[in-house]
């Protein structure tokens, strides 16, 4: 599904599309929220849900790589520098 068509979907349909068709890249936690990062085709999708109530709070899609910065801290690149 291309970026334009994805953005015409309702929020729950967007989350469902991310879960069923996207590739889970990372997950981070902020307070009571779990934020999952997916990639689908040439764009990214963040699905934010409340951990205790397990409800979708927000779905965000983007093509720019700047919003990926919070996930970069979790990537361990030590193996790239080992002898």
Strand partners, 27: 36
The CA distance from 23 to 35, in Å, is 14
pTM of the model: 0.87
Q: What are the C-alpha distances in Å from 76 to residues 35, 64, 72, 79?
A: 19, 22, 9, 8
For the stretch 15-67, pLDDT in tens is 999 999 999 999 999 999 999 999 999 999 999 999 999 999 999 999 999 99
Q: Would you kindly state where each structural domain of the chain is located, as residue ranges?
A: 3-81
CATH 2.60.120 fits 3-81, yes or no: no
Q: Which residue has the tokens 């991310």?
A: 18
Question: Quick one: CA dihedral 61, 65, 67, 73, positive or negative?
Answer: positive
């Amino acid at each position: 599904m291309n970026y334009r068509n994805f953005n015409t979907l309702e929020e729950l349909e967007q989350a469902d599309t991310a879960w069923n068709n996207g590739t889970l890249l990372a997950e981070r936690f902020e307070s009571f929220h779990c934020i999952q990062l997916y990639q689908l085709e040439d764009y990214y999708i963040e699905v934010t849900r409340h951990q205790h109530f397990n409800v979708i709070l927000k779905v965000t899609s983007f093509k720019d790589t700047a919003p990926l910065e919070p996930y970069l801290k979790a990537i361990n690149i030590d193996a790239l520098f080992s002898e």
